[in-house]
Each structure stands twice: as C-alpha cells, then as structure tokens.
Amino acid sequence: MWQALRNELHPKGFELVTVGLDTQGDAGCRAFIEAARPEHPSLIDRHHVLAGLFGVINIPSSVWIDENGMIVRPAEAAPAPPRAAGSAPGFSMPAGVPQRFVEIMAEAAKIRKDAQGYHAALRDWVEHGAASRFALSPDEVVARSRPRDNAKALGHAHFQLAAQLEMDGHHAAAIQHFREAHRLVPESWTFRRQAWSLEKVGDGPLARFWQGPNPETPGAWPYAGDWLSDIRKVGAENYSEPWRP
C-alpha cells in the first residue's frame, strides 16, 4: 500500500524511505522487504538509531523531511494508506493459531488510526510544500519532538549496548541492558517489542510474535511486561498518540 502511494507521488518529487528497526538485521527483515519489492530506499536499523536521532518510540511512525533537509513533521504515528472501498483486507488469521495470537490481533485491531486525516495531510504537503498548513515551522518541529532528559538519553545508550551485545551473541548480558532501557524510557514501545521479540516461544515463523512468557516456563520471562499485558494496561486505543494537524 505504501509502495503504491510512493509510486503515485514519486513524479511529484516525493520519495519514501522505509527503515526496518530490527537488531536481527537482514535475517529479521529480508522476507518482508523481498515480498514488498520496494523501488524506494529500504534500510535496516539494527541499533534503532532512529530512536536517538529522530525520537522514534513506536512503529509504524514517520518523519517528514523537505527538499532542503529540514524536518517539517517530527516522529508521529503513520497509519497505512486508507483502503479503496471494496478491496480485500490484507490479513486474516489462519485457523488453529494459538489463543494468544487471536488476543494480540484483537488488541491490535483496536489501535487508533486516523488514516484519512494523516493521508489527506500528506497529499496536501506533497502538493503545496512549505505553503501546506501541515508543514510545521522549525520551532514547532522541535517543540513537538519527543521529550527527552538525561535519564532517557541514558536509556537510549543502554538500548544500543543491548542491541550490540545481542548481535555479538551475549544474550544474557543484552537482557540486562534492555531492562535498563525499558526502565528509563518506559514510553518506547519499540525498545520493549524488540527485546520481547528476541525471546522466541516455539520455532515457527510466528515465534517472534509471541512477545510474552512461555506458558510452560512462565517464571523464565526476563521482562517486567509483555505485549498483551502492556497493551491492556494502557488500552490499545492509547498505543499511538492521536494525530494532530
């Protein structure tokens, strides 16, 4: 869907750059990228540098950057383009999947998405550039970027260290630094989901999506939260901040 939108807007001087945030790198992202067959730059970010550089704390999210390299909208939730009426849904749950996945998908379906507002704004900006009311001033961009203090900055350092330790095969050491990152940057869903996804339950293609304790060994789960508990705690409708013009 994003690819089709990109191809439509590309002749108007628009480019899409997708970034897969995954410490597992090519191994984690390849199947998805190859299936999408992108004609735009498609990058892989093993240390989540987008978090530190742009304030990305969630996926999917976007940053808009103008022709001069100025950010005109800082990191915000980026819903997929609205579907054309009558087109088929992109995903349906296969029969026989474990109950946990059914519950995860039910929560995910409640996540608020203002696709109409966001995509109308995107088209307006591509058409009108700086004159678009959705292109924010530099001061507004800075003011709307994520709050960050020294403790959160320290949490980012712990996350990057954890990612590298994981890549180097030091999984137990990585967990300690992931936990620090979660404690110091509790608002980051990506920091949590990344760490949870590395605790695979089972070994099939869905193992990374379990994102919680193994029902057979629940005491071995190394993190304070998990996907289902955390999303129920905040309410799925609060997973993304509401889009504001």
Partner 1 sequence: MLLRSAFVPRSEFEAGTGWRLKAEGACQGDVCIPLSQPAGDPVDVARVARDIGMPLVAAPEYGLWALGPASIGSRALASAQAPDLRLPGLNAKEFRLSSLRGQKVLLYAWAPY
∠ CA 50-63-223, rounded to 5°? 40
Q: Are 98 and 226 in contact (CB under 8 A)?
A: no
Q: Which of 4, 7, 8, 17 binds partner 1 (CB under 8 A)?
A: 17
Looking at 47-55, 85-93, 95-103, 109-117, which segment touches partner 1 (CB under 8 A)? 47-55
**Helix 189-197 crosses helix 227-234 at what angle (to 10 degrees)?**
160
Q: What x/- string results for residues 94 through 133 when contact with partner 1 is judged by CB under 8 A? A: ----------------------------x--xx--x----
- Non-local (6+) Cβ contacts of 183 within 8 A are 155
For partner 1, which is the closer residue by CB, 86 or 201?
201
**Do residues 214 and 221 make contact, with C-beta atoms less than 8 angstroms apart?**
yes
| 216 touching partner 1, by CB under 8 A | no
The single residue among 79, 175, 191, 197 that binds partner 1, judged by CB under 8 A, is 197
Single out the residue of 178, 184, 177, 180 nearest to residue 150, CA to CA: 184
- Which one, 34 or 241, has the nearer CB to partner 1? 34
Quick one: which segment of 28-36, 100-108, 109-117, 212-220 binds partner 1 (CB under 8 A)?
Answer: 28-36
Closer of 125 and 239 to partner 1 (Cβ): 125
d(CA 56, CA 53): 8
Q: Cβ of residue 86: shortest distance to partner 1, in angstroms?
A: 26
